Amino acid sequence: MAIQDKTRTIPGGIAETQINPYAMMLQQLDMVREQTDIPAGIWEILRRPERALEVSVPVTRDDGTIEVFTGYRVQYSSARGPCKGGIRFHPGVTADEVKALAGWMTWKCAVVNIPYGGGKGGVICDPTRLSRGELERLTRRYTVAIFPLIGMRRDVPAPDVNTNSQTMNWIVDTAGLLSGEAVPGIVTGKSLELGGALGRREATGRGVMVAALGVLQRLGMDVTKTRVAVQGFGNVGSISAQLLAQCGARITGISDVSGAFHCPRGFEIDDVLRYVATSPGHLLAGYNGRGVEEIKSDEVLTLDVDMLIPAALEAQITARNAQDIRAKIIVEGANGPTTPEADLILGERDVIIVPDILANAGGVVCSYFEWVQNIQCFPWEEEETNQRLAQILQRSLNEVWTLAEKRGISLRLAAFVLGVERVASAIQLRGIFP
């Protein structure tokens, strides 16, 4: 399957160029195949999701009208454990996007060696056009539609783009009412009062920070002399920026969907966070700190920095802009932000890329911790969560780095090889039923 660029119009009349993420993920798998001796039949299993569900989600709007949304839930693999993956509410959601994200979750959980498979869900909608009541009704109806698939031993959703702890609270409540019993472990990313884990909100950004510091250490680079640009200032990007700034890094570029900003002397990240906390839509638009200049949105990717953290959506770094990237280190906070073509271009320029399935795995690792605590009915202290998170990610980075050096391949290819081989091994050990 070839990757294709195509222009489409998403709800709201916005024209965008879309790269097929599922084709992108399959192309990455094809590159992995050259590095392994996995049997052909097992490869056919690895290239397909176990189950893909499309649902209609009718919602009564506040004005009494009914609007029907389309939702998806994909279970890519359960060979290593229950499927695990977030739910996103976004106008650009497609079936292929959800399949790709579920696949990436499969390899991600295997890379960090936690007992999960991969899943993902999404609803095609623009949350900014929905009231809180409409969002609640959408979430609960979507939960009803996917309820036959999810369960704490089958498929465990979590927050993703435009969803949060409140979304998970609605899901766990709806699922509990449908099942007639308490089911806190059916989702992760809940509020603390409903069984959420301390440190979960910061976990993905903290994992990006751990990966970034690990690479800097291996390259002998001083974090206090490192300039960093962050694309996407949502939960992952903002926390990554905050934690790296606390370690002494200089954050010189930030952006979100509302705009991009450059500050050569380094942003005062706490000031930016205070602004975003009260700005319309919690966006960067209108920020005017000391020494800050507004730039074009795509320029944040090509700033003169040492490290780039793409933490927005997939397919942001492509063959069209890869030559213009000046960062020598890319730590992927988003899922699939770099296309295979861009990977090749950046690899020829010796740019080091810490891939998404390793760099942003902090969220799913902490979700695993939350799930374990729900099963045991025994909460942990935040310090214990952060320590265990750092240990797992440091070990995983070391395994990927060692494999990359041993085989003379990129970190991305090494991470995929490690993850895919672990999933393939689980499939072979289980055998094919019947």
Report the CATH number at residue 303: 3.40.50.720
Low-confidence residues of the chain: pLDDT under 70: 1-18
Nearest alpha carbon to residue 397 among 135, 217, 202: 217
- 284, 233 contact by CB (below 8 A): yes
What pLDDT does residue 10 have?
Answer: 33
Q: How many domains does the chain have?
A: 2
Domain encompassing residue 231 = 202-359
Whether residue 132 is contained in a domain is answered as: yes
Active site residues: 120
Q: For Cα atoms 165, 169, 174, give the angle at the middle one, nearest 5 degrees.
A: 150
**Are residues 156 and 88 both part of a single domain?**
yes
Strands 329-331 vs 352-354: parallel, antiparallel or unpaired = parallel
Same domain, 162 and 56: yes
Residues 6+ apart with CB under 8 A from 173: none
Domain boundary among 124, 148, 183: 183
What does the CA dihedral 410, 413, 419, 421 come to, rounded to 10 degrees? -120
**Is residue 91 domain-shared with residue 170, that is, in the same domain?**
yes
Q: Is residue 30 part of a domain?
A: no
Clarify whether residues 172 and 229 are in a common domain.
Answer: no
Residue 75 CA to residue 52 CA, distance in Å, equals: 6
Residues with Cβ within 8 Å of residue 66, at least 6 apart in sequence: 58, 59, 60
| Alpha-carbon span 363 to 255, nearest angstrom | 21
Q: How many Å apart are CA 330 and CA 321, to the nearest integer?
A: 14
Q: How many separate helices (H) and strands (E) can be counted in the chain?
A: 13, 14
DSSP string spanning 243-277? HHHHTT-EEEEEEETTEEEE-TT---HHHHHHHHH
Asked if residue 330 and residue 233 are part of one domain, the reply reads yes
- 2 lies in some domain: no
Residue 43's identity, in one-letter code, is W
Return d(Cα 67, Cα 141) in angstroms, integer. 12
- At which of 136, 151, 183 does a domain end? 183
Supply 340's token pair. 């295979």
Based on the domain organization, do 175 and 316 belong to the same domain? no
Q: The CATH number of the domain where 163 resides is what?
A: 3.40.50.10860
Please tell me the distance from the alpha carbon of residue 55 to that of residue 382, in angstroms, as a whole number.
37
Q: What are the CA-CA distances from residue 101 to residues 74, 228, 374 (Å)?
A: 9, 26, 25
Strands (E), 148-189: 155-159
Based on the fold, state whether residues 218 and 345 are members of the same structural domain: yes
Point out the domain boundary residue: 359, 392, 426: 359
**Residue 337, domain member (yes or no):** yes
Are 339 and 213 contained in the same domain?
Answer: yes
* Phi, psi values for residue 133, rounded to 5°: -65, -40
pTM: 0.89
- In this structure, the dihedral spanned by the alpha carbons of residues 183, 190, 62 and 72, taken in order and rounded to 10 degrees, is -70
Q: Give the pLDDT of residue 18.
A: 56
**What is the pLDDT at residue 5?**
42
328 shares its domain with 262:
yes
Is residue 227 located within the same domain as residue 175?
no
